[in-house]
Structure 1
Amino acid sequence: MTDAPDARQYTMRMADGSVTIFRSPSQARAVLHSTSLPNAPAGRAYQMWLQQPDGSMVSAGLVPRSEDGTVTMLLSGDAAQAVGAGMTVEPAGGSRQPTSEPLGLVEFR
């Protein structure tokens, strides 16, 4: 996916580091990658969201835990029409809608 001709890289900066999102509109996919993401607090999970043109957020999946902070995940959902992506801290099983302010938010431009 990162070798798609229209793939672009975006950096989402957060208080505890950053993650990189690679997005290809032609493939309607986005991938999250980080080498320094600390695990979410006990009983909680990081959840990714794709921001729709109307401003609503659609779940793109739960970020897996990692012993060394290295995480790579394919975001679920259609990234072709998304205008951005965000990450929140949610209950361990995730939420239908964000329940907290985003830790990070990036616009796809």
Structure 2
Amino acid sequence: MLYRSQEDLSDARAQAAAMSEILSARDAKVITGGVGDLSGTVLYSRERGDVLLLASGVPAPPEGKSYQVWLMGGDTPFHSVGLITADAQGRAAIIDATGEVATATNIGITVEPEGGSTTPSTDPIMEMELD
């Protein structure tokens, strides 16, 4: 149990540091959205090229499936931010610092085969427009 607490603390510190860095940018934006119990907060800076998604109410994925986060639109129609797995309280977070957010128009979560896909194979279960 101590190991899990240390891991949670490390994750929380990394998220706090990422939030601080993004929010210190001149062009920092925060958007929120959701569908049903699934909700998300996105912090991003196009200048810095960083985006952070904090999700809550994330249900367990269907058997043999994973949740995958995408930056969509812009120069690269689909950029995988990565897979998210919720904790016991249904919370998940993911950070992308590749710079792809600079031209993205949306961020979304899809249900993909376990391990993810190279492009979305389903419509997003949640999608938010980036200003």
How does the TM-score come out when normalised to structure 1? 0.86
Give how far 1:85 is off.
0.8
Give how far 1:60 is off.
1.2
Q: 2:61 aligns with which of 25, 29, 40?
A: 40
Q: 1:51 aligns with which of 62, 66, 72?
A: 72
Distance of aligned partners of 1:54 and 1:25 in 2 relative to their CA distance in 1, 3 Å threshold? closer
Between Structure 1 and Structure 2, which shows a larger proportion of helix residues?
A: 2
Distance of aligned partners of 1:59 and 1:11 in 2 relative to their CA distance in 1, 3 Å threshold? same
Asked if the contact 2:38/2:55 (under 8 Å) is kept, the reply is no
Between Structure 1 and Structure 2, which shows a larger proportion of strand residues?
A: 1
Of all paired residues, the percent bearing the same amino acid is 31
Residue in 2 that maps onto 1:6:
27
What amino acid is aligned across from residue 94 of structure 1 in structure 2? G
Asked if the contact 1:30/1:75 (under 8 Å) is kept, the reply is yes
Residue in 1 that maps onto 2:40:
19
- More displaced 10-residue stretch of structure 1: 9-18 or 39-48: 9-18
Larger radius of gyration between Structure 1 and Structure 2 = 2
What amino acid is aligned across from residue 87 of structure 1 in structure 2? I
What amino acid is aligned across from residue 93 of structure 2 in structure 1? T
What amino acid is aligned across from residue 12 of structure 1 in structure 2? G
Q: Which runs of 5+ in 2 are unaligned?
A: 1-21
Total equivalences in the alignment: 109
